[in-house]
Amino acid sequence: MNLYLRLIWIIVRSFFKPPIDFADKVSIALRILPNDLDLNRHLNNGRYLTLLDLGSIDLFLRSGVLKRAIRKGFRPMLGGLIVTYRKGLSLFERCNLTMQLEAWDERWNYFRFEFRNSDGHLSAAGYFKGALVSKKGLISNKVADEIFGYERSTCKLPPAVANWIESENAILQGTVT
């Protein structure tokens, strides 16, 4: 099953799963297929990110955000990611991807994600940030919340996210400390 078939499967399944809130946890059961492997015969590090996209699509579909965003001429965009790998996933191994909105600021929504094997051992974990964009650029969370009728307060960024933002700013300025 290639990625397009997985994508179609996620889309079809979303119609039969209950709707969720944008801040709810999403969980997707996956199986590692031959086209997911690298030369070391475990899940390719880039494929983790591609599978993470499937989780994002499930979240955006089931929360209704994707439908409303498309109607407004917006589209979701990934703005960055930090990931750590801990235990390889092998051919035909089952794993579970979970992700959930954990924090936000004026511009970005920060999601925590984890891949765990069938025994519950952590294979990979991290954060990604996403936002909605229009032809004019990034849509602030304040504007998006007003458009979608979503109410949220300010939040405190987890230390890992705050450190990631600081590192990202240093990279963009060309000075890593």
Annotate 61-95 with DSSP letters as a single string.
Answer: HHTSHHHHHHHTT-EEEEEEEEEEE-S--BTT-EE
Q: Mean pLDDT, to the nearest integer, of 154-173?
A: 93
Tokens 């790998």 sit on residue: 85
- Residues 9-23 have pLDDT tens digits of 999 999 999 999 999
The pLDDT-based confidence of 2 (bands split at 50, 70, 90) is low
Which range among 67-81, 112-126, 146-160 shows the weakest confidence by mean pLDDT? 146-160
Please give the domain boundaries of the chain with CATH numbers for all domains: 3-173 (3.10.129.10)
Is residue 133 helix, strand or coil? strand
Tokens of 69: 């965003």
Percentages helix, strand, coil for the chain (3-state, rounded to 5) are 35, 30, 30
User: In whole numbers, what is the pLDDT of the chain averaged over residues?
Assistant: 92
Virtual torsion, Cα 38, 44, 50, 56, nearest 10 deg = 150
Q: Mean pLDDT, to the nearest integer, of 78-96?
A: 95
Q: Running DSSP on this structure, what letter comes out for residue 132?
A: E
Is residue 96 helix, strand or coil? strand
Q: Is the dihedral of CA 95, 101, 103, 108 positive or negative?
A: positive
CB 106, CB 96: distance < 8 Å: no
Instruction: Inform me whether the pLDDT recorded for 75 exceeds 90.
Output: yes
Q: Mean pLDDT, to the nearest integer, of 41-52?
A: 91
pTM: 0.91
Q: Mean pLDDT, to the nearest integer, of 151-171?
A: 92
